[in-house]
Structure 1
């Protein structure tokens, strides 16, 4: 295949910007376990390992440490995995059916807990994940149904419920519109960068709470020529990323 040119970088898709935004969650992380959930976060974690985060550890979700191509390079027994989980040595990137201004996440139910209108995945490991190691979020469809004033049930713990949790941290939330963090005095959500073609007004309109929006919002970092080559030829040659983010 022909290596992407600088013109190809300028024509990178929205999905490829989302991969870069997810990958950046692990910049400077060192030797920790990356636990990405979902296609674009997984491509992002593997891209980070191949480029700027060579010490990152990737797992097969069972008992092995694997290389970006999936071949084994080590053993991670369950008891050791739990030690990493509860000691801040893992960075998870999860999804969210709902997320609010303080980073509380819901993946359990929609509506009143006693009589929900929709039953979802359940709480699963979200409380342990979020209280005991850094947790970021990937949301492929940014809307008021997801970015809500108050989640119907707290599964992943946000900043307003995390007092005393030593390893609690939410480095970033990535959606198909931009990147968000909690770098505000009250640790509420802030717009940190915009994907190409997206305006602050679009983000505000798609968010169900008052979002902190700086006067000058930077663009999301563009992929380099080499990163685009890795995404398109090595990590996701079938283009499955476009099924999560079509633009």
Structure 2
């Protein structure tokens, strides 16, 4: 079976929870949610899944219970959670902006607001999902820091003991921070995408090793789960239509 780009993205999102153990997975968005549920179905059976807010769900999406806010905060602030958020802007060290575009005092665009991004990034592992990899998202400097990147976390070690950025999955490939200075690196390419294409769509110079590997191909079992169990309505194509 030939996988679509969206299905490669689902598998790449699932991989952020590989070897995570018994942690709370908080995916935000259609493809991250499918990825977390796929991971639970296959190689990460100990994941505790939420709907991104307050409900506990089974791997098929069935609601199993309710996560009280007080219990949720205990998990969030104790490092036992891996959230996958979106980003309106990201810079080379993983600083994220979801609040506004332009000067904070007089923004050109008002977005979601800071919300829980500082707590997420300082207190538990965080990855990002970007459905459209462009220079508007991957910028030299974010207009406002909501999610804390590696450079800023280094200045507050006592407050960032659980700070760890995992991966950034986009419609072009997968990026991580496995470099000496914790700057963003191109870790894998989705089928049909070139290094030059990713760099052209990024507003700063990426770390690129020789021979960037391809993103892992979905197995036949994973494709069956995605298509027949997790997302038979193909909602994933609404985020990545390739």
Deviation, structure 1 residue 77: 1.9
Is 1:138 aligned with 2:129?
A: yes
In the alignment, the residues of structure 2 paired with residue 126 and residue 160 of structure 1 have an alpha-carbon distance, to the nearest angstrom, of: 16
| Corresponding residue SS for 1:129 | helix
Residue 59 of structure 1, CA deviation: 1.7
Structure 1 residue runs of 4 or more that deviate by more than 3 Å after TM superposition:
60-64, 72-75
Q: State yes or no: 1:76 paired with 2:71.
A: no
Query: Alignment partner of 2:222: what SS?
Result: helix
Closer, same or farther: CA 189–75 of 1 in aligned 2, 3 Å: same
CA distance in 2, matches of 1:60, 1:31: 17
Q: CA deviation at 1:68?
A: 1.5
3-state secondary structure, aligned to 1:151 = coil
Alignment of 1:1-247 (within 5 A): 8=1, 11-163=2-154, 164=157, 165-247=160-242
**1:160-201 residue CA offsets vs partner (Å, 9 max, x unmatched):** 111211110111000000000000010000000000000000
Distance in 2, matches of 1:133 and 1:95, equals: 16
SS at match of 2:207: coil
> Counterpart of 1:3?
none
Gaps of 5+ in 1: 1-7
Distance 1:59 1:111, change over 3 A: same
Q: Which moved more, 1:133-142 or 1:74-83?
A: 74-83
Say if 2:97 and 2:144, in contact at 8 Å, map to a contact too: yes
State the aligned residue count: 238
CA RMSD of aligned residues (A): 1.0
Task: Indicate the SS of the match to 2:143.
Answer: coil
Q: Matched residue of 1:171: which SS?
A: strand
> Aligned equivalents of 1:131 and 1:227: distance in 2?
33
Q: Note if contact 2:130-2:170 (Cα within 8 Å) is conserved in structure 1.
A: yes
Structure 1 Cα separation of the partners of residues 203 and 53 of structure 2: 37
Displacement of 1:71: 2.7
- Specify the SS of the correspondent of 2:107: coil
Normalised by the size of structure 1, how large is the TM-score? 0.94
State the Cα distance separating 1:110 from its structure 2 match: 0.3
Shift in Å at residue 61 of structure 1? 4.3
